[in-house]
Amino acid sequence: MSDPVNDYALDLIWRKGRSYNGWHDKDVPETLIRAVYDLAKMGATSANCCPARFVFIRTEEAKARLKPHLMEGNVDKTLSAPWVCIIANDFMFHEKIPQLFPHNPGAKDWFSDPHAREEHAMRNGSLQGAYLMLAARALGLDCAPMSGFNQDGVDLEFFADKDETHHWRSNFLCAIGHGDDSTIFDRSPRLSFDEACKVL
């Protein structure tokens, strides 16, 4: 039986993890972003389908492409981050099932129905986006997830090319960097166990 992680780790990832509105001017190297993904990819998905795709934006040119599609209130806090990730879903993810689920490559056919495939992509892709945030926190970074953007605009800007990305659709955005504590509010309340849970 595994021992639980210590209180420092619980604080870092959960208790003190916040969504930031501003960032310190501190570089985040690409090697660290790659390490974040290498942790996040280990999270569980249905039949290891791994439908999430991640577009990591760091250059001013790429941020300029993203800017017109952000809600006005999200522009500064998003584009001032060292990195912004478009967490997207690949709605043709089942094509990689033989690679990802090699003990049962026929599982690809479980996702042959487009509507079922979309449902699985959204569920599992959202999980993977959350895994990415937890991995970033675990490696000492901070996050600001958001859905305040024009999805159709982002998809047209970033996923319209006739390559493998034209089956990708944006789910949510996440700014990543070293958060500035002066830009966050007091933590909002959460529901208690008795309000949110039932034991049967």
What 8-state DSSP symbol labels residue 69? Answer: G
Q: Does domain 18-178 have CATH number 3.40.109.10?
A: yes
Global pTM reads: 0.94
* pLDDT given for residue 162 in this prediction: 72
How do residues 58-98 score in pLDDT, each as one tens digit? 999 999 999 999 999 999 999 999 999 999 999 999 999 99
Q: Answer yes or no: is pLDDT of 45 > 90.
A: yes
- Burial annotation 48-87 (CB, 10 A radius, 16+ → b, else e): ebbbbbbbbbbeeebbeebeebbeeebbebbbbbbbbbbb
CA neighbor of 21 nearest in space, from 105, 78, 86: 78
Q: Answer yes or no: is pLDDT of 46 > 70.
A: yes
